[in-house]
Amino acid sequence: MIYRKAIFQDVESIHKLVNTYAEQGLMLGRSRNILYETLRDMVVAENDGEIAGVAALHLVWDELVEIRALAVAPEATQQGVGRRIVETLLKEAKELGAKTVFALTYQPGFFKKLGFHEIPKEQLSPKVWKECINCAKFPNCDEIAMVKEL
């Protein structure tokens, strides 16, 4: 398994992977446009030329970053792929000088295993919500806020 920054050629595979889970209600969907715009934020796990996982590190505000769009291909689950992607993003967050990492998720147990803890969404900086207006679930967000201090 190779863990690397995403490139243009990955977008279709990422789109399919993320939106397959979104169709099942397990995560929020992403348009191709958003994927292209945030490509530099993404890390992928590649196995034999296939995308086995993806997630992005989004810079929100002063020393605050978000892990978003985490998805692991069904055939690669329970193999540490998601954990390794998050660890890669946490390392990058530390290198950038981030102090707080958060995720809005439907899978809080996964993040808890990585040292995150649940908080009320209202405790997050108002800067977090600027992109939510474009979400289909706005203003009735049902994701769970998980935070980790670095």
Q: How many domains does the chain have?
A: 1
pTM of the model: 0.91
Q: Which residue has the tokens 């289909």?
A: 136
Could you tell me how many helices (H) and strands (E) the chain has, helices first? 4, 7
pLDDT at site 138: 63
**Do 82 and 92 touch, CB atoms closer than 8 A?**
no
Question: Domain span at residue 107?
Answer: 2-149
Q: Which residue has the tokens 């679930």?
A: 137
CATH code (residue 84): 3.40.630.30
pLDDT tens column, 93-126: 999 999 999 999 999 999 999 999 999 988 887 7
- CA torsion 107-125-31-68 (nearest 10°) is -40
pLDDT tens column, 31-75: 999 999 999 999 999 999 999 999 999 999 999 999 999 999 999
